[in-house]
Amino acid sequence: MKVETILGTGFRGKLGNLVFYVRNGKTCVRRLRAAGTKPKERTDRQKALSRRFLGVQMAYKYYREAISEEIWRVAGKEQGRMAHNLFHSENYACFDREGHLAKPDLFHFADGSLQLPPGLEVEALGEGRMAVRWEADEEWESCRGSDVLKAGVIYAGNQDSFSWAEECSGRREECSGEVRVRTGKGTAHVFLFFAREDGTAYSPSKYFRLTMKD
């Protein structure tokens, strides 16, 4: 309950079981719980929301450690937002009630002002290798021919962890590249995006699913 219209902004203190405090320049009030009473039991929905929120937070922590903290920091700066807040808003819907990444196909591995080239597609070559191709388009002012292809991977069975592809090559001007991931039976969730050569800008990522066989 806001009370700045009564007491004016900047009022802090305790009055009976009411505590007044300032948030964003406005005076607000909350009621203290009576002594000896227990807090209300949280509902299953509230618990699930907490687990989901924590799951996204932990995912961002693992991402920074395994991939980079620069990708989302740069994207956040472009939008005037904090890196972790942007990561959370873009990826919250990908996590389930237990806080696990349940929808990797919706996951945003990267984001930013660079544009993805048109016609981006892949072809499985075997042994964990993928040929990557795209169309040329030199009319985008934000892009450069020297932009490099990047590939992030999430392996099935370990969907709360992130890694770079074992190998990744290709520049925007070449209209082709190649990616190699770890081999073995299973699925690799691959995310392709482009980065400015000096790391000052990134593009959103595009998802591809690679199923590998022995």
The pLDDT of 83-103, averaged and rounded, is 94
pLDDT bracket for residue 134 (50, 70, 90): very high
Domain boundaries, the chain: 1-39, 44-212
Nearest to 18 by CA among 35, 3, 8, 31: 31
According to the model, what pLDDT value does residue 3 have? 47
- Compute the distance between CA of residue 119 and CA of residue 134 in angstroms, rounded to an integer: 5
What pLDDT shows up at residue 202?
97
- Please determine, for residue 205, whether its predicted confidence score (pLDDT) is greater than 90: yes
DSSP-assigned beta bridge partners for residue 70: none
pLDDT at 164 over 90: yes
| pLDDT reading at 160 higher than 90 | no
Q: pTM score, two decimals?
A: 0.78
Longest dimension (CA), the chain: 72
Indicate whether 57 pLDDT > 80.
Answer: yes
Looking at the chain, the whole-number percentage of residues with pLDDT higher than 70 is 86
Average pLDDT, the chain: 87
- Average pLDDT for residues 10-15, to the nearest whole number? 66
Residue 69 in 3-state DSSP? coil
> Which tokens is 163 given?
């890694």
Indicate whether 27 pLDDT > 90: no
At the second CATH level, the architecture of 44-212 is Sandwich (2.60)
Q: Distances from the Cα of 190 to the Cαs of 64, 80, 160, in angstroms?
A: 18, 28, 14
Confidence at 49, pLDDT banded by 50, 70, 90: confident
